[in-house]
Amino acid sequence: MANERLRSAIVARGMTVDQVAERIGVDPKTVDRWINHNGRKPYRRSQYALANLLGREVSYLWPEERTAGEVREAAQAELVRLYPHRAVVPREFWPELYAKATRTFDVLVYSGFWLSEDPAFSKVVREKSADGVPVRFMLGDPGCPAVAQRGNDEGIGAGMAGKVRNALVNYGPLFGLPGVEFRLHCTTLYNSLYRSDDEMLANGHIYGVGAYLAPVLHLTRVPGGELFDSYAESIERVWQGARTIRSPHELGATA
């Protein structure tokens, strides 16, 4: 069965399949499949883009999907706690969070220098390595424009690149541990993300303010929720675009 609601919404908007495809950044054949092939649905982010473009609710275009209200309720369940500043998150909470990891242990930051100085955190990394848990560190490439810009935004200039280098030196003993991998990225980060299985701390970045003064969301994955997965997907995108280093001194050229 074709998705006649989607077809009629496009017609009512006075648009063609080609125009819709161009506006949301996909191939026209993809939009055609969404219309004419039962069961072929866009990814959630494309559903929202289409709904916004066509002036319809997601639940109207795809009746089996949840309403906006249901999505909001699920998001409330995902939020365990909001901290107004990272500085007020209990210091011991970070190693405690990662101590629970059995499948996923991710750190996505520019420098995360403060965490590299925590012996309790380093101890957890070693324990998880011994347990066979993959540990992924993603730090900003000291030579890339995004790191320089963040340094300027925080008012520390080249100090940001220096913090990255210092953090890597602190992490030196962790290089080479089984399952522990370090990568450098050149991404413009809007959040530093700390994931342990189905829990995550999302530390927002605010222009002109150090991350330690920015809010932190403690999130947990719940059925039907989308907030956790949105952050988790961004971690994967950064990971795929980052480059591996095998030594804290193996910085080389910016990717």
In tens digits, the chain (255 residues) has pLDDT values of: 788 889 999 999 999 999 999 999 999 999 999 998 756 788 878 888 898 899 887 878 887 666 555 666 666 788 999 999 999 999 999 999 999 999 999 999 999 999 999 999 999 999 999 999 999 999 999 999 999 999 999 889 999 999 999 999 999 999 999 999 999 999 999 999 999 999 999 999 999 888 899 999 999 988 667 788 889 989 999 999 999 999 998 875 443
The pLDDT score that the predictor gives to residue 203 is 97
C-beta of residue 125 within 8 angstroms of C-beta of residue 174: yes
The pLDDT score that the predictor gives to residue 131 is 97
Instruction: Starting at the earlier edge strand, list the strands of the sheet with 191-196.
Output: 79-83, 216-220, 199-204, 191-196, 105-108, 135-140, 180-185, 243-245
The pLDDT score that the predictor gives to residue 220 is 92
The pLDDT score that the predictor gives to residue 254 is 43
Q: CA 57, CA 60: separation in Å to the nearest integer?
A: 5
**Judging by DSSP bridges, how do beta strands 135-140 and 105-108 pair with one another?**
parallel
